[in-house]
A and B are shown apart, each in its own frame.
Chain A
Amino acid sequence: MNANPLANPAPQHPVPQHPAPQAAPARGLWQIAVRRLLRNRVGLASAAVVAAFLLLILTTASGLLARDWDQQYAVSFAPPTAIAGNPQDDDAVGQGGTGSQIDPRAPVDLYGVVDPLADVMARIHGLSAPQAAAVAPEPTSVSGVVDPIGDALARAKAVPKSAVTQQRAVSLTLGADKWGRSVALKVVKGAETSVLVGLAAAAVATLIGTLLGALAGYCGGWVDATLDWLYGVFTAIPYLLLVFAIAAVLQQKGVTTIVLILGLTGWTGVYRLIRAEYLKHKAREYVQAARAIGASHLRRMFVHILPNVSHVVLVQLSQQVVGFIKAEVILSFLGFGVPVDVVSWGSMLNETPNELILGKWWQLAAAAVMMAVLVTAFAMLTDALRDALDPRLK
């Protein structure tokens, strides 16, 4: 309704005084859909989960949470708190664990690759760490001492400088990875990457697909023929292969790149559906009637038909988000996705096969569960949306 320029609020006041023929207030199709959605408990629950994720992403994107996800809070492969016993009992537990589990050099080396701040810190570390590693088998004060409050405290100490004096925990809420980074923070920050990529790529793909589909379906003729040729070309190449091919030629990695890759190749499904919808609606009598009263092509395309196919667009958008989140995870897993200084569920999963062999399952569990929850919620929300918006049910 918002798309309709006729809905001028100004002249509406004189009319409502008339008694309505029916008692219920006038309800447009959107209001009916919203009401139907509100009645669907599963849909509401999944909408709540999706909203929670979006809120989470807002807090991480704004830097309130998980800004320093790549800090080494804990010892390498520190287990989740729940299965690690109580680390506060005895400092020795922590020390023993640390000493036996990690090679102190490994985190430092790799730390420098991952962390943009690492240069600074590595230089500071460099003063003491090499000797410590070389000389003493027992942990030094840099890496060995237990932080009794665990990652809760560590998260509070978000100041980069704290790294210098940082004390490493033997256990974290969801455990730590090979480099002692908090899995909890990684999985939260990874949600931001995966969901933002999914949303942005879906927006790009749906926009392109809708525009081209509307043009092809409405105009027909050579426009349709040309766009159908383009569609034929893009669908002749299997989707993942096309994405791989583009990833192979594009040397620079980044979130924008992957959004563009997914968006520019993923429009074909939306295009096909919207084109069919426009073909159908173009022949409908209400569009013929609009033509008969002299409404222009643009008006018929966007004021008349678009609101009537917008439910298809919305459901497609929602479906695409799920698809692109999955695709991003695979791409990043294979190393064709986000760069190494960005964490995503895919790059987390990439670390897990080797971890599993060592019996460190928590990173896999965290990433898998987070992703499954979000995708399930999104898929069920899509189903609920489809049901609520279905024009056949009135």
Chain B
Amino acid sequence: MNAYLLRRVLQMIPTLFGVVLLVFLLFNWVGGDPAYVLAGKFSNPRDIENIRHQLGVDQPLYVQLGIFLRQVITFDFGNSWATQEPVSHIFLSRLGPSLALMIPMLVLETLLGVVLALAVAHVRDSWIDRTLTLLTTSAMSISLLVYIIVGQYVFAFALGWFPVQGWSSTPQGWVHYAVLPILLGLAVSLAPAIRLYRTFVLDEIHQDYVRTARAKGVPEWRVMLVHVLRNASIPIITNVLASLPALLIGAFLLERFFSIPGIGREVILAVERSDFPVIKAVTVAVAVATMVFNLLADLAYKWVDPRVELS
């Protein structure tokens, strides 16, 4: 077990290096000279030279890579080009609103998705199943933009049930501002979740052990909720864990539409303003989180599936 953990952590190093290399190539090589971006409208050659020196982009590429590696290791990406706010501060202060939005969304999506998927799989091939499949297909085909635009207009603007936008970090403020975004996010993500979990459940329903359970006289509800669900939970848990890193970047569009000061909105702003340090920091941080959660997913896999040997 410890040897496994150690090996997995060591295996992260080349992947992390790859991510750093990819981000570095993207911003320092493909992206061209950031000094022109930063200097903006009032550029004169002296200013640009000055900025180039400050950023270190007048150095050879390998020196720049070294600088970037040091930034990654110390998690100090300097200041935002747009606001001069320290990047680490931006990251930490925007995390809260993103999590306040995403965690309830993920929990509700998983619970509702699993329950509905079990129900649909239970009546598989019936007209209910076919209707629901058609409904989810159509629901998935509508752009999430449309859900948000229409939802915000109808429920906030026209009906006035919810505030149109805004955020507050108090609990009452959360109830006030977060409910509509969460409901809309759920409307978008529930259909694909049901479809995915339905296939997980159906994969199990056709296994031999289900036939054995029926041959034992196990009632149908117990077949579904004990025998099938326990096995289907293996891919479901893996899938949920794999979506956890997404918590860190929040919901880009929801945060943008509802002016929620989360990381997703910050990323969009940064892209609009060519605020490279912010994008770099978020990318590397999320990559690290993804790798950690992948490891957690494997450990969880071992926990729910006795067949898996960690070696």
A and B touching (Cβ–Cβ under 8 A): yes
> What is the distance, in angstroms, from B238's C-beta to the closest C-beta of chain A?
14
Is A245 interfacial (CB-CB < 8 Å)?
yes
> What is the distance, in angstroms, from B246's C-beta to the closest C-beta of chain A?
6
A229-B14, A232-B15, A372-B141 known; A241-B290 Cβ under 8 A: no
In the complex, what residues of B have CB within 8 A of residue A371's CB? Answer: 141-143, 146
Is B153 interfacial (CB-CB < 8 Å)?
yes
> What is the distance, in angstroms, from A302's C-beta to the closest C-beta of chain B?
29
> What is the distance, in angstroms, from A253's C-beta to the closest C-beta of chain B?
12
> What is the distance, in angstroms, from B119's C-beta to the closest C-beta of chain A?
21
Contact A244 B18 (CB under 8 A): no
Is B80 interfacial (CB-CB < 8 Å)?
no
Contact B18 A353 (CB under 8 A): no
Is B60 interfacial (CB-CB < 8 Å)?
no
Secondary structure at chain B's binding surface: helix, strand, loop or mixed? helix
Contact A349 B145 (CB under 8 A): yes
Given known contacts A245-B23, A334-B256, A364-B149, what 18 new A-B pairs fall within 8 Å (CB)? A232-B18, A233-B15, A233-B21, A236-B291, A237-B287, A240-B249, A244-B271, A245-B26, A248-B31, A329-B143, A330-B143, A333-B145, A336-B271, A368-B143, A372-B141, A372-B142, A375-B140, A375-B141
Among B18-62, those with CB < 8 Å from A are: 18-19, 21-23, 26-27, 30-32
Bound: A233/B12 CA distance, A? 10
Among A344-358, those with CB < 8 Å from B are: 345-346, 349, 352-353, 356-357
In the complex, what residues of B have CB within 8 A of residue A248's CB? Answer: 31, 270-271, 274, 276, 279
Contact B283 A237 (CB under 8 A): yes
In the complex, what residues of B have CB within 8 A of residue A322's CB? Answer: 141
Q: Which of A241, A349, A380 has the most CB of B within 10 A?
A: A241
Is A238 interfacial (CB-CB < 8 Å)?
yes
> What is the distance, in angstroms, from A8's C-beta to the closest C-beta of chain B?
42
Contact B26 A379 (CB under 8 A): no
Is A155 interfacial (CB-CB < 8 Å)?
no
Which of chain B's residues has its CB closest to A240's CB?
B252
The residue from A251, A336, A353 contacting B32, defined by CB atoms under 8 A apart = A251
In the complex, what residues of B have CB within 8 A of residue A353's CB? Answer: 149, 152-153, 257
In the complex, what residues of B have CB within 8 A of residue A357's CB? Answer: 153, 157
Bound: A288/B270 CA distance, A? 54
Q: Which of A237, A333, A356, A357 has the most CB of B within 10 A?
A: A237
The residue from B18, B19, B31, B141 contacting A249, defined by CB atoms under 8 A apart = B31
A244-B267, A368-B143 known; A238-B290 Cβ under 8 A: yes
In the complex, what residues of B have CB within 8 A of residue A372's CB? Answer: 138, 141-143, 146
Query: 1/0 per position for B229-258, CB-CB distance to A under 8 A?
Result: 000000000000000011001001100110
Is B272 interfacial (CB-CB < 8 Å)?
yes
A334-B268, A353-B152 known; A241-B283 Cβ under 8 A: yes
B interface, CB within 8 angstroms of A = 14-16, 18-19, 21-23, 26-27, 30-32, 137-138, 140-146, 149-150, 152-153, 157, 245-246, 249, 252-253, 256-257, 267-268, 270-272, 274, 276, 279, 282-283, 286-287, 290-291
Is A81 interfacial (CB-CB < 8 Å)?
no
In the complex, what residues of B have CB within 8 A of residue A334's CB? Answer: 252, 256, 268, 271
Is A376 interfacial (CB-CB < 8 Å)?
yes
> What is the distance, in angstroms, from B81's C-beta to the closest C-beta of chain A?
12
Is A247 interfacial (CB-CB < 8 Å)?
yes
Is A122 interfacial (CB-CB < 8 Å)?
no
Query: 1/0 per position for A361-394, CB-CB distance to B under 8 A?
Result: 0001000100111111001100100000000000
Among A43-84, those with CB < 8 Å from B are: none
Is A230 interfacial (CB-CB < 8 Å)?
yes
> What is the distance, in angstroms, from B249's C-beta to the closest C-beta of chain A?
6
> What is the distance, in angstroms, from A43's C-beta to the closest C-beta of chain B?
13
Q: Which of A230, A322, A368, A379 has the most CB of B within 10 A?
A: A368
Bound: A334/B290 CA distance, A? 25
Query: 1/0 per position for A244-271, CB-CB distance to B under 8 A?
Result: 1111111100000000000000000000
Bound: A234/B26 CA distance, A? 13
Bound: A373/B157 CA distance, A? 27
A interface, CB within 8 angstroms of B = 229-230, 232-238, 240-242, 244-251, 322, 326, 329-330, 333-336, 345-346, 349, 352-353, 356-357, 364, 368, 371-376, 379-380, 383
A238-B249, A372-B142 known; A246-B26 Cβ under 8 A: yes
In the complex, what residues of B have CB within 8 A of residue A352's CB? Answer: 149
Which of chain A's residues has its CB closest to B245's CB?
A238
Please name the 10 residue pairs, one residue from A and one from B, whose CB atoms are nearest each other, closest first: A249-B31, A233-B18, A375-B141, A236-B287, A376-B141, A248-B271, A368-B146, A232-B15, A356-B153, A236-B290
Contact B153 A249 (CB under 8 A): no
Bound: A326/B141 CA distance, A? 9
The residue from A249, A326, A373 contacting B26, defined by CB atoms under 8 A apart = A249
Contact B143 A238 (CB under 8 A): no
The residue from B138, B143, B253, B282 contacting A241, defined by CB atoms under 8 A apart = B282
Bound: A373/B141 CA distance, A? 8
In the complex, 8 of the A-B residue pairs with CB atoms within 8 angstroms, ordered by the A residue number, are: A229-B18, A233-B15, A236-B287, A245-B23, A250-B31, A322-B141, A364-B149, A372-B146
Bound: A71/B18 CA distance, A? 48
In the complex, what residues of B have CB within 8 A of residue A374's CB? Answer: 141
A356-B149, A372-B142 known; A241-B276 Cβ under 8 A: no
Contact A329 B286 (CB under 8 A): no
In the complex, what residues of A have CB within 8 A of residue B291's CB? Answer: 236
Which of chain B's residues has its CB closest to A233's CB?
B18
The residue from B21, B141, B253, B274 contacting A330, defined by CB atoms under 8 A apart = B253
Bound: A249/B270 CA distance, A? 11
Which of chain B's residues has its CB closest to A380's CB?
B137
> What is the distance, in angstroms, from B266's C-beta to the closest C-beta of chain A?
11
Q: Which of B14, B15, B26, B143 has the most CB of A within 10 A?
A: B143
In the complex, what residues of B have CB within 8 A of residue A368's CB? Answer: 142-143, 146
Bound: A251/B15 CA distance, A? 28
Q: Which of B137, B252, B274 has the most CB of A within 10 A?
A: B137
> What is the distance, in angstroms, from B291's C-beta to the closest C-beta of chain A?
6
Which of chain B's residues has its CB closest to A335's CB?
B272
A229-B14, A233-B22 known; A364-B140 Cβ under 8 A: no
